[in-house]
Amino acid sequence: MSGPKTLFDKIWESHVVAENDDGTTLLYIDKHLIHEVTSWTGFERMAEDGRGVRRPDATLGVPDHSIPTRNRAAGVAGIGDPLGRGQVEALIANCERFGVPLIPLTDLRQGIVHIIGPEQGLTLPGATLVCGDSHTATHGAFGCLAFGIGSSEVEHVLATQTLSQKRPRNMRIAVAGDLPPGVAAKDMILAVIGVIGTAGGTGHVVEYAGAAIRALSMEGRMTVCNMTIEGGARAGLVAPDETTFAYLKGRPMAPAGDHWDRAVAHWRTLASDEGAAYDKEATIEAADIAPQITWGTSPEDVIPVTGRTPDPAAAPDEKRREAISQALDYMALAPDAPIEGVAVDRVFIGSCTNGRIEDLRAAAAVARGRRVPDGVGAMVVPGSGLVKRQAEEEGLDRIFVEAGFEWRDAGCSMCIAMNDDKLAPGERCASTSNRNFKGRQGRGGRTHLVSPAMAAAAAVSGRFVDVREMLS
């Protein structure tokens, strides 16, 4: 097929190993990240079948989901839950047995798998990258075709470095104009999901474009791509540009010397061609985006902080009415009421969506010189050990601690609550993570998704406020 191509078309077509008889494509996978929760079954079956890892050099393991965010010096022994500890031990043993490099718990570079890939320069433009984790979409910020897979597919990649996939369709989401002050990348992606819905991207790869996307830093682009899965699409992409190259240059695993120049020359050819066609398109005006907050139990249940909760009586159909009523009920919110002023019990700043240095800076700018009121528990969990060290070098940890936040070690933490960091039943949390599903942060817990600045504003106010009013 010639003619104008999209960024996605170019990456896909350059990774076709073969077309299978059944209409799927055997796609080559360049990079494979693994963590403790979704890799053990693949390794177990490979051992049974006497198979090996085809390319250990393209694979990297890191424990992140079920590890404690305190007392990290204790290493694996410090994991209180015996099952979680067993899973991390299995990851370590499997990586050793199959020769896969691993970043251990005690390493400064340990962190959330989607934070460390970019940080180490493993995530590269034009490449394909997978991980047994739906937020693999994060890496698309580099123009890297990255998507989450299940455990059977993890095994398939370990054994063959390929996957059989049906070719997805192209979707383009443009965010036009400039983002207003006090509005972050997180607000942008929440607004996008509010427009397209949680199934709006199903079957598609989304390319984010437009001036507001181009103006984002790499970290902002990662936040946007990260939540692509919350809009139903497995992968999001941003065309690589000078911002991308500047971020990657000099990273430990990025190409160097002559390879760097050749790589950049290749990466410059990846952007979508003029006139390339998309199966679906949407445009959003950045100027219309206010700080966002979710009110319900799906990421599409989102409103501006100045908005009101929905009224089930106004829902278009019975199923939707039922869903809204149930969500409001679970969240203990009144229908058709302002969200601003609702009191919070807990605040969580972290996750692969918002656990990078710029996120912590944005939160610290709000927290500085203010104080978390008694009765509110706020915690900051950096996305990696390197993010933590950088924040400490900048003095952000002191700002947080003086404002009454807890300063923790890196990991997924209360994004998924597989360690000790979880909500008690009924507790209401302002969270910078990506999923407000029922019970996600602890059974009966109530999660509101917000940006880091909005989370910090909620922490020091004890309730949801419009952060723009605190930034003058």
Query: Contact between 103 and other proteins (CB under 8 A)?
Result: yes
- Given ligand SF4, other proteins, none, residue 20, with its beta carbon under 5 to 8 Å by kind, binds other proteins
Query: Contact between 50 and other proteins (CB under 8 A)?
Result: no
Comparison of 15 and 346: residue with beta carbon closer to ligand SF4: 346
Q: Which residue has the tokens 């969580």?
A: 348
Where in 134-234 does DSSP place strands (E)?
145-148, 162-165, 169-176, 204-209
Beta carbons of 151 and 450 less than 8 angstroms apart: no
Comparison of 54 and 368: residue with beta carbon closer to other proteins: 54
Footprint on residues 190-209 left by ligand SF4 (CB under 6 A): none
Footprint on residues 16-35 left by ligand SF4 (CB under 6 A): none
Structure tokens at 141: 């910020």
Beta carbons of 121 and 252 less than 8 angstroms apart: yes
The contact pattern for other proteins, residues 155-194, with x = CB under 8 A and - = no contact, is: xx--xxxx-x-x-x--------------------------
Q: Quick one: which of 9, 30, 119, 133 contacts ligand SF4 (CB under 6 A)? A: 133
Rounded (10°) CA dihedral 436, 197, 136, 202? 140
Footprint on residues 389-448 left by ligand SF4 (CB under 6 A): 412, 415-416, 433-434
Query: Contact between 234 and ligand SF4 (CB under 6 A)?
Result: no
Q: DSSP letter string over 227-244?
A: GGGGGT-SEEE----HHH
Q: Is 264 exposed, middle or buried (0-12, 13-18, 19+ CB in 10 A)?
A: middle
Footprint on residues 343-382 left by other proteins (CB under 8 A): none
- Given ligand SF4, other proteins, none, residue 90, with its beta carbon under 5 to 8 Å by kind, binds other proteins
Supply the minimum distance, in Å, between the C-beta of residue 83 and other proteins.
4
Footprint on residues 325-344 left by other proteins (CB under 8 A): 326
Footprint on residues 236-295 left by ligand SF4 (CB under 6 A): none
Closest CA to 327 of 195, 446, 189: 446
Supply the minimum distance, in Å, between the C-beta of residue 214 and other proteins.
25
Q: Quick one: which of 135, 156, 172, 440 contacts ligand SF4 (CB under 6 A)? A: 135
Distance CA 471, CA 456 (A): 12
Footprint on residues 286-325 left by other proteins (CB under 8 A): 298, 300, 319-320, 322-323
Comparison of 212 and 416: residue with beta carbon closer to ligand SF4: 416
Q: Which residue has the tokens 């908005």?
A: 307
Comparison of 428 and 440: residue with beta carbon closer to ligand SF4: 440
- Given other proteins, ligand SF4, none, residue 266, with its beta carbon under 5 to 8 Å by kind, binds other proteins
- Given other proteins, ligand SF4, none, residue 125, with its beta carbon under 5 to 8 Å by kind, binds none
Query: Contact between 384 and other proteins (CB under 8 A)?
Result: no
Structure tokens at 150: 């299940």
Structure tokens at 456: 């910090």
Kind of pairing, strands 428-431 and 446-449? Answer: parallel
> Distance from CA of residue 422 to its chain's centroid?
19
Q: Quick one: which of 94, 309, 351, 451 contacts ligand SF4 (CB under 6 A)? A: 351
| DSSP character at residue 57 | G
Distance CA 429, CA 124 (A): 35
Query: Contact between 122 and ligand SF4 (CB under 6 A)?
Result: no
Query: Contact between 388 and ligand SF4 (CB under 6 A)?
Result: no
Query: Contact between 243 and other proteins (CB under 8 A)?
Result: no
Comparison of 201 and 304: residue with beta carbon closer to ligand SF4: 201
In degrees, rounded to 5, the angle at the alpha carbon of residue 95 between the alpha carbons of residues 91 and 101 is 120
Give the contacts of 176 (CB within 8 A, at least 6 positions apart). 210, 211, 212, 283, 284, 285, 286
Comparison of 434 and 447: residue with beta carbon closer to ligand SF4: 434
Footprint on residues 3-22 left by other proteins (CB under 8 A): 17-18, 20, 22
Which of helix, strand or coil describes residue 165?
strand
Distance CA 32, CA 59 (A): 5
Query: Contact between 24 and other proteins (CB under 8 A)?
Result: yes
Output the CA–CA distances (angstroms, integers) from residue 434 to 135, 184, 190, 346, in the order listed. Answer: 9, 14, 9, 16
Beta carbons of 277 and 247 less than 8 angstroms apart: no
Give the contacts of 227 (CB within 8 A, at least 6 positions apart). 137, 186, 189, 190, 193, 299, 353, 434
- Given other proteins, ligand SF4, none, residue 412, with its beta carbon under 5 to 8 Å by kind, binds ligand SF4
**For other proteins, how many residues bind (rule: CB under 8 A)?**
91
Query: In the complex, which residues of this chain contact ligand SF4 (CB under 6 A)?
Result: 64-65, 112, 114, 133, 135, 351-352, 412, 415-416, 433-434
